[in-house]
A and B are shown apart, each in its own frame.
Chain A
Amino acid sequence: MFKKQAGIRFYIFLVIFVFLVMFPFIWVFLTSLKPQDELTSFAWFTTNATLDSYASAITTRPLFRYMLNSFVVSGLTTILSLLIASFTAYAVTRLPIRGKTLILGLVLASSMFPPIAILSPIFNFVTDTGLRNSYIGLVIPYITISLPLAIWILATFFQKIPWELEESAKLDGATPFQTYRQIILPLATPGIFTTAILVFIAAWNEYLFALAINTADAWRTIPVGISFYQSEYTVPWGDISAATVIVTIPIVILVLIFQRRIVSGLTSGSVKE
């Protein structure tokens, strides 16, 4: 690494960069505090800050219901896909099975599938089984996104666990499954946690399936719900900016707490160490 010492010019650049990246959030936050009649003004700060937009955002549409829906669907998806993915990742990285390349290739290929290519059969299936406008109806298609992602990242983490502990567990007479549960899982907990965050965010952000499958307002998730704030004739920017601020806060908190883990998860698949 060629580490130069950071000078004043560097910090100025950094401040501008961070400001540009954060600008949309700053502006939307400032807008959300403006009263209705100042929404079209380009003044940065309002002198009559009000929470009217927030009140309107949570009463005109069931915003908290959207958040609950997103939370339940993403949570279920994360638990289910991590459970299954941790088995697969363990078997592929630690157990002597054949066709590992084929299995990982299939996983990788299915993570590349365009969701639109599977949307209509999944829609038909969910309609026929009466699962439209339910949580399970979204968890099923979300598996297509989350399972390959989880297997891929977990396999990288499992690979890094030293073999010595496993060998000594074997010598002590542990069965392969005991080794997995009592040796590997505890050691892989940080990796599993990181994967869980990434899978949760991926499910939280999904739009296409949620748009097509859960069409009733009470079952919409956040991305779809937010995009339906605008009507054909008016665009209530005050409501939209307030709603955006409300739904962004949990993500900002998540990112602030877990930023190191998120970065390690994101880069785990792409960089060889």
Chain B
Amino acid sequence: MAKKPGGKFQLNEKQLGYAMVAPALILILLVVIWPVLLSGWNSLFDYRLNDPSKSERIMTESLNLEEYADNRYLIEQNINELSEAYPEGEETFNETWAVVQEHHEELVADEGMASSYQEVNSMLNNYEPIQDDNLRIQSIDGSWGSEFEAAMGEQIEAVNSVQQQAEGDIAVEIGYLAAQLDNLQGSVLSSNFVGLQNYTDYLFNGRTWTALANTTFFTIVSVGAELIIGLGVALLINRAFKGRGIVRASVLVPWAIPTAVAAMMWSYLFDGQSGIVAHYMAAIGLISDPGTLLTTASGSMFSIIFADVWKTTPYMALLLLAGLQTIPNTQYEAAEVDGAGSIQKFFFVTLPLLKSAILVALLFRTLDAFRVFDLIYVLTGGGPANATESISVFAYKILFEQQNFGAGSALSVIVFVCVAIISFIFVKLLGSDLFPEKVKK
């Protein structure tokens, strides 16, 4: 059926199938797989957004032509003006310019570099932004970079000593010249490729291990509590009763509200001064003082786990309830005939038949808990003293609060590897149960 009578071209089933799958696969490759690979690549550099000399990923020593051309132009202008305005320094200024020129000629002796320089220079003259990184950042060979940096260092000192003798506005102007020379020197970008150093730094860093331990503790305790309470609730409400709708809705609301909003609510309820939950807990003697909940390490960890259990147990109970409802009644009747009590029925009928539902729920909950970010970031900010910092929160702080994208990427790759290991273990345990008949046929 490749062609219809009308002559209109038609895809056959197979071609249509691949065409329909393609957009999703391309998107997943672009927005999931590619960024993960980029994170891995970024983690190999000392890459910092807040440090101009490290805000690019540079494999070999390079020159930022934009910076270079721009500052060279400014220095030339400035030296011409200063030589007239301050004759006492003329000799030094001329000497400085001669040194700049000498190195410049050496640089543009390379034809490729000369033409790139021309291009950048003319773009700068037209006030065009230079967006092409391949043009803007040129790698440089040999010893030019280090010689240039050393020579500029000497000239900056010479200019500085002239500045000390000058006074008033002239001194300020000379100060500008020194700053421009400094920028010119800074246009040489040394390689910030550090290999696996970010990993070794952070794998030998106590805070990484504290964060990993916090995350693991949080995951095991909260998912364990959610499973046990969720299973209990599911068993109890697996019967006919009036008001199922109300129960279902009330159970869904905590699941449906944003975690950040839930975290804000709990930070109020746990607050040492005005928190009702902290107040009641102290009143019945669970904690010594209402303030301990959010100011001590164990209190904060407890608070986070409590809030997570509140938010997610209902969801767990729903998943397990759905699993329970697929167990046929005849199984229980058969067990009763064999003389099984209700405890035996639970262990020998319910649990085995619920196994795959439990494992699927555990897989998704464990992964979710291990990636925990919003709850901790909003409720405790990782405090006090990093006692509740999860590995995602730690990575976020390094990435966006310290603007250290190299080290932050290394940490996010570590999170990724941990999640991959957890998924691998669960998928091994679950086997083909994870694909419920979807792909058969």
Contact = CB atoms under 8 A, between A and B. Distances in A.
B395 interface: yes
A113 B77 CA distance: 54
Interface in B215-270: 233, 236-243, 245-254, 256-269
B256 A120 contact: no
Contacts of B413: 117
Interface string A245-273: 00110011011100110110011011111
B249 A256 contact: yes
A56 interface: no
A113 B322 contact: no
B269 to A, nearest CB: 6
Report the interface size class on chain A: 35 or more
Interface residues of B, number: 114
A1 B21 contact: no
A69 interface: no
Contacts of A13: 236
Question: Interface residues of B: mostly helix, strand, loop or mixed?
Answer: helix
Given A147-B28, A223-B258, A116 B438 contact: no
A205 B374 CA distance: 10
B179 to A, nearest CB: 27
Nearest to B327: A1
Interface stretch (B59-67, B151-159, B170-178, B404-412): B404-412
A113 B419 contact: yes
A91 B17 contact: yes
Given A175-B10, A244-B265, A208 B374 contact: yes
Chain A interface helix/strand/loop/mixed? helix
Nearest to B260: A223
Interface in B426-441: 433-439
B396 interface: yes
Interface in A57-109: 84-85, 87-88, 90-93, 95-97, 100-101, 103-104, 106-109
Contact of A106 (B25, B332, B345, B423): B25
B264 A244 contact: yes
B21 A92 contact: yes
A148 B1 CA distance: 32
Interface of B: 1, 4, 10-14, 16-18, 20-21, 23-25, 27-28, 31-36, 38-39, 42, 233, 236-243, 245-254, 256-269, 271, 273-274, 276, 279, 310, 314-315, 318-319, 322-329, 332, 345, 356-357, 360-361, 364, 367, 370-371, 373-374, 377-378, 392, 395-396, 399-400, 405, 408-409, 411-413, 415-416, 419-420, 423, 433-439
15 contacts: A17-B247, A21-B254, A24-B265, A24-B266, A24-B310, A95-B20, A110-B33, A117-B413, A120-B408, A175-B1, A241-B265, A248-B253, A260-B248, A270-B361, A271-B326
Interface of A: 1-6, 10-11, 13-14, 17-18, 21-22, 24-25, 27-28, 31, 39-40, 42, 84-85, 87-88, 90-93, 95-97, 100-101, 103-104, 106-110, 112-122, 124-125, 140-141, 143-144, 147-148, 151, 155-156, 159, 175-177, 201, 204-205, 207-208, 211-212, 222-224, 226-227, 229-230, 235, 237, 240-241, 244, 247-248, 251-252, 254-256, 259-260, 262-263, 266-267, 269-273
